[in-house]
Structure formats: structure tokens, C-alpha cells
Amino acid sequence: MDLHRVALLCTFFCFAQVWSRPTNCILREDLLKRSYTVIETAGGLFPVQCLDENVVIPFPQNAFESDNTDQVTGVEKSVYQTLENINALFEKFEDYTGPDQRFTENWNEFRGLVYRQIKESKCIKSEAAQDFPSREASLKVYFETITSTLKEKDFSYCAWEIVRKEILHTLKFVLDVNSNASVRMDLHRVALLCTFFCFAQVWSRPTNCILREDLLKRSYTVIETAGGLFPVQCLDENVVIPFPQNAFESDNTDQVTGVEKSVYQTLENINALFEKFEDYTGPDQRFTENWNEFRGLVYRQIKESKCIKSEAAQDFPSREASLKVYFETITSTLKEKDFSYCAWEIVRKEILHTLKFILDVNSNASVRMDLHRVALLCTFFCFAQVWSRPTNCILREDLLKRSYTVIETAGGLFPVQCLDENVVIPFPQNAFESDNTDQVTGVEKSVYQTLENINALFEKFEDYTGPDQRFTENWNEFRGLVYRQIKESKCIKSEAAQDFPSREASLKVYFETITSTLKEKDFSYCAWEIVRKEILHTLKFILDVNSNPRHLSEWTFIVWPCCAPFSALRRCGQGQQTASFVTGVEKAIYQTLENIDALFESYSDPDREAEKWNEFRGLVYRQIVDSKCIMNKSEAAQDFPSREASLKVYFKTITSTLKEKDFSYCAWEIVRKEILCTLKFILDHNSDIIL
């Protein structure tokens, strides 16, 4: 306790000597690095097929360079201006027509990071810097050239790859050249460094020479969600590989370094396996995507903790020998099985076992292993002198929305086969409503309590016996999101709110009813669908009713238009005029989505590609929910009845074809052909009104 107090005071006084301005007026180097990593992993090297289209754009090097400390503010303003310019490019991103979904997903994550930095560091704009106008002029020319390149190449895949190349170059230059240019820009690292000097009385090695437990846990979660249990079809091919338990065990603190070196060696061995991963020939795209994310996490840990290799540990040679045998056996198994899907599943099983053992056995073995978290905690108490509320004591709206989307796409509408088993559970609306700002804390505690109650339901989830593997995968992802929010926002529990007991009582009755329903229905598929329906209702109510809490600036990252993806010449809720024919087309497209969704009621598991159909159903359903305001548009659409009549005939013909062909595989292929033709026609002929 005394050390904790000394650490707090030491950190606080260190900051007091350096900064005279608010601590939130900074550029976060860790976020810039993370942005670089995300956009880098969106693709590899510049694509070969785009080499002929590549454009050399002069880089505004002078905008980011500084000769002395007087120019630090000018550099910071240039970096901030760069982030704003990058964010402005995103308005054109909707026109991206490339085939790579993963590319789009990484861009979306990158957009969120850029937007977050803009919001958190906006006070930089108000600072004075005499040299900034010349820097700003260079940046203006640079980004105008990038924008014109995008337009000239019609926002193609190669055009966006050119943009990615330029952004990577810019971020790398900013990080390399300005690593020592601004003390304030690197506040996060200085905070850790300051804290380190306080802890230097206890630890003798650098703070970056650690193994990050949070990254190991995240690595485990990612590879775990790459698939469920070991596949039934691979049981005959399963191989029992002796696990080198001795490599990770320690009897005393003298062996801690040996264990850490073993963990690091394990990460290097796992990384070495990735050289063979290119030979993977399995059918599961999701499996490959999760592996790629896992590879990135492993590589990051190797780079961040490489100084561990140089440390001395007398017991390491014996540990290393055990690991060598273990991974040689894994590699030979891969080769013997010709790098098949089942071979990689065996690898996944072994890696899961290894990571779980490391996390379980060494959770308390080394304080230094979790030094990063302790350092952040100490720094956090320093900031607590400025803010009356802990900086992580928030509820993240973006995570709540993502949780809603994940569980929503776990299935479509409530299953027809479960209608007879459906149960109406009274919803505790009062738990989430507030009449004034004094009740905000009570609402936040209710939301947090709801997350804890949802998490408690997961203890029963192991009893789920439904046939849908995808359903289980989505639930697992949802569980991870809920758990993350509970961990990140746990300080909310300690806040006082006089009205919370009555809210808590309502929630208790509600979740007790859900739990008893699960038990009564023997944890069946329909029972879990009832749970999913209730969770969706709860999350939607929370998001709708509490869209303007006191932490809105910290909650919101990207706000999508209310009618995405079919906004016309005006968006819902805005007062601009629009041509009536546009509304007719929009309504026709929306009606098409509803008709396609209606076909799924007849969907009876075609012989193959069922998983892709399920994903498509989720996307259609999501668009119907997100864009339902289109059908409520007030402007006239005199031509819609005739459009609707044509669609009715068209989809009646498709439905009758399905029935005549007894919902066979070929019948569904006919449906797929028609849907493809319809969607292609919509995209080709209505690009001017689709957002």
C-alpha cells in the first residue's frame, strides 16, 4: 500500500514539472501506431495487378519536420490536420467497389481510430504556431492530389490501394521522424517512463521487457473463436502430441525469467509455423481470417518483447529442448497430413492448450509479466487528480452497438419452429429510463448490471444442444464483447445512485425469469432464441432511450445515416427536397429486400453452401432493420404501386418455382441466379442514389 502511494505521488509530481496545459490536449503515439498496424494488415505489399496504375505523389516531408522545440506545436498541428484530411477521404470510401471484404473491414476499423484521435485531440487546433500555414499549404496540395487520383481512377480497388500506400508512408514518417520531437505527443510513453522510475526501486529491467498478459489472452480468444470444438470429421486424424509442461512451470521466483523465455520462444515457434500456412487448402474462409488476426497478435508480442531473449536463465536450455521436440512434432504432423484442414485443426488444438496452460499456471508467477497494466494503473491515479471520475469509467456506445449487431446476425427473425414455445417476459423499462441528469448514474449502473446478468447466463450456455454452429460462434463473439465491457467499466459499480435499488430489483426479476425459462425448456435451441430475443430488445431499448448520455462525446465514434444503405438525394430526417422518382426506386429496393427475406421462410437447408446463405440472410435482415424508415418517407412516390405490382409477380414466380422443384438444390441455385441478377441491376443503375 505504501509503494502504491509513493508511485502515485512520484508520477503526479513528475507530470507537474513538465506540463502546464490540460493533459488531454495530446497526440497519442500508441493510437497512431495502432492505426498504422490496422491499415498495414488490410493488405500486404502493393498489389501486382495495380503496378501499372500506381502513381507517385510528392510527399510533404517539410510538414512534419522540426529543427527545434519551438516548432513542436507546428508539427502537432500538421499531424492533426493530416488526420482530418484522412477522415475527409472516408466520404468517398462508400464508392469502393473492390472484391475484398476484409479490406473494407480493416478500413472501417482504421476510420474509427482516426475519428477517435480527432475527437480526443481537437484542442490542438486552437494552439498558435507561426510555421503552421506553410505546413498546411503543403498538406493541402498533397491530399488534393490523392483525392483527384481517387476520382480519376473511379474509386477502384487499385485507387484505394494507392491511398493506403500513401497513408502508410505518411504515418510511418510521422512516427519515425517525430519520436523525440514532442514530449507532449508521446505523453502515453512518458507517463509509463515516469512511473517506471518510481518502480525502479523494485524492478531492475526496462518496462518494455515484458510479456503482455492481455495480448496473450486476446490471442487465445481469437484462435478459440476460429472454430468451435475439435471437428467431428477430423477425429480419426487426431494426433496426441506430448505437451512440454515442464517448459512453463516454476517452483520459485528465480525461475521466472526461464518461464518468460519459454513463453517468448513459444511465440517464435508459433510464428514460424505461419510460413507453412500459405499451403492451407481448407474450405473455411472465417477460419483463415481468424488465423490472420492471430498471426498479427503473435508477431506484435514478438516485436514488443524481444529484449527477453537477451536475459540470462540457467534453466532455459532444458526448457528450450522440450519446446523444440514439441514444435518439431507439430511441424512433421502438418507435413504428413499435407497441410490439410484437419492438420491445421490439430495445430489450433495444441496452440489453445499451450496458451491456456501458460495463462493458468503463470497468472501469478511474475509481477513483471503484468507490469504494463500496473504502470497504466499508476498513471491513471495521476490523472485522477484532474478528473473527478476515472477515465475508463464509461459505457462505450460503440461496443454496445457492436454487441447488438453480432447477436442480431446470429439469426434472423424469431424462428417459426419456436413460435409455440415463445414466452412473453415483462420488460423492466423503468430500469433504463431517466427524467433528469441526476438519474444518469442510476441508468449507467442498470446497464452495467444488465451486462453482468447477461454474462451470468453464459455459464448455462455450455448446455446448448442446437444444430447451428454459426449460432454458437456468434454467441461466443457476443460473450467476448460483453465480458470486455464488464472489465472496462467495472468502476461504475462503485458509484452512488439513490434510485438504483429499485432499478436493480426490476432487473433481478427479469433475469430470474429468463433463467427459469432456460431451465424449463432444458436449454434447447428455442430457449436460447427466446434469450436472444430478450437481449436484442434490451440492448435496442438501451441504445434508443439513452442515445444522449453525459458521455456522448466518449461514446460515439461514427454515426451512420438513418437510412443506410439506401439514402437518396436527402437522408431521413433532413429537410432537403428530393425528386419523387427517387423515393419510388428506394421503396422498390427495400421491398425487394423484404421479398428476399420472405423467401427464407421456405429455406430448408440446401445440400451445400448453407453457411454462406445464412450470412446473406443476416445481411438482408440487417438492411431491412436499418433502413425501415424508407417506407415511412412522406414525399410522394406515385410510381411505387406499379413497381410494387411488378415485384409481386416476379417473386411469386420465384416462390412457385421453389415449390414446384421441391426446394431442391437446383431450385435454390435458380433463386441465387435471380437474386444476383436483381442486385447487380440495382447497383449498376442506381449508383447515384445508393449511399
Average pLDDT over residues 504-520: 92
**Is the model's pLDDT at 284 over the cut of 50?**
yes
pLDDT band, very low/low/confident/very high, at 623 (cuts 50, 70, 90): confident
Is cis: bond before 415, omega within 30 of 0? Answer: no
Range scoring the smallest mean pLDDT among 90-99, 194-203, 254-263, 508-517? 194-203
Q: At what angle do helices 440-457 and 469-488 cross, to 10 degrees?
A: 140
Q: Determine the Cα angle at 215 with ends 10 and 195, to 5°.
A: 5
The whole-angstrom separation of Cα 526 and Cα 415 is 8
What is the share, in percent, of the chain residues with pLDDT greater than 70? 71
pLDDT over 60 at 485, yes or no = yes
**Predicted confidence band at 398 (pLDDT cuts at 50, 70, 90)?**
confident
CA angle centred on 225, ends 220 and 228, rounded to 5°: 115
261-281: average pLDDT: 79
318 has a pLDDT exceeding 60: yes
Q: Is the pLDDT of residue 308 over 70?
A: yes
The pLDDT of residue 286: 58
More confident: 440 or 114 = 114
The pLDDT of residue 109 is above 50? yes
pLDDT at 38: 84
Residues contacting residue 320 through CB under 8 Å, at least 6 positions apart: 247, 261, 262, 265
Q: Beta-carbon neighbour count of residue 462 at 10 Å?
A: 7
CB distance 620 to 644 below 8 Å? no
d(CA 113, CA 557): 8
- What is the per-residue pLDDT across 461-482, written as a single tens digit (0 to 9) for each? 655 555 456 667 777 788 888 8
pLDDT digits (tens, 9 = 90+) for 192-248: 454 454 444 334 444 456 788 888 888 888 888 777 778 888 888 898 899 999 888
Measure the CA–CA gap between 188 and 209, rounded to whole angstroms. Answer: 17
Mean pLDDT of all residues in 407-423 = 83
Across 13-22, 98-107, 517-526, 557-566, least confident range: 557-566
Contacts of 679 (CB under 8 A, 6+ apart): none
Query: For residue range 61-77, what is the model confidence (pLDDT) as tens digits?
Result: 888 888 766 677 888 89
Q: What is the 3-state secondary structure (H, E, C) of 197-227?
A: HHHCCCCCCCCCCCCCHHHHHHHHHHHHCCC
- Determine the pLDDT at residue 249: 86
DSSP 122: G
Q: Which of 50, 48, 122 is nearest to 80 (CA)?
A: 122
CA distance 334 to 342: 9
User: pLDDT by residue (tens digit) across 342-366?
Assistant: 888 899 899 999 998 998 887 644 4
Interval 549-597: pLDDT, tens = 433 333 322 222 233 233 322 233 333 334 444 678 888 898 999 899 8
pLDDT of the residue at 225: 79
DSSP string, 332-379: HHHHHTTT-HHHHHHHHHHHHHHHHHHHHHTTTT-TGGGHHHHHHHHH
110-151 tens-digit pLDDT: 888 888 888 888 888 888 888 899 999 999 999 999 999 988
Selection from 160-164, 177-181, 227-231, 409-413 with the highest mean pLDDT: 160-164
The yes-or-no verdict on residue 411 having pLDDT over 70 is: yes
Amino acid of residue 263: V
Highest mean pLDDT among 149-153, 305-309, 368-372: 149-153
Q: pLDDT band at residue 407, thresholds of 50, 70 and 90?
A: confident
- pLDDT band at residue 494 using 50, 70 and 90 as cut-offs: confident
Cβ neighbors of 147 (< 8 A, separation 6 or more) are 89, 92
Q: What integer best gives the mean pLDDT of the chain?
A: 76
List, as one string, the DSSP characters of 229-282: SSPGGGGGG-------GGGT--SSGGGHHHHHHHHHHHHHHHHHHGGGGGG---
Q: Around Cβ 41, how many Cβ atoms within 10 Å? A: 17
Q: Is 558 helix (H, G, I), strand (E, B) or coil?
A: coil
Predicted confidence (pLDDT) at residue 368 exceeds the cutoff of 80: no
Distance from C-alpha of 140 to C-alpha of 635, rounded to nearest angstrom: 40
Dump pLDDT digits (tens) for 9-18. 655 555 554 4
pLDDT at residue 30, rounded to an integer: 83
pLDDT at 81: 92
Q: How far apart are CA 264 and CA 215, in angstroms?
A: 13
**Most confident listed range (272-281, 492-501, 508-517, 629-638):** 508-517
Higher pLDDT, 325 or 190: 325
Count of CB atoms situated within 10 Å of the CB of 601: 11
More confident residue, 381 or 154: 154
Q: Compute the distance between CA of residue 463 and CA of residue 316 in angstroms, rounded to an integer.
A: 42
Give which of 150, 14, 147 is closest to 85, Cα–Cα.
Answer: 147
| pLDDT higher than threshold 90 for residue 535 | yes
Mean pLDDT value of segment 509-525: 90
% of the chain residues with pLDDT over 90: 18
Q: What is the mean pLDDT of residues 648-657?
A: 91
- What is the structure's pLDDT at 464? 55
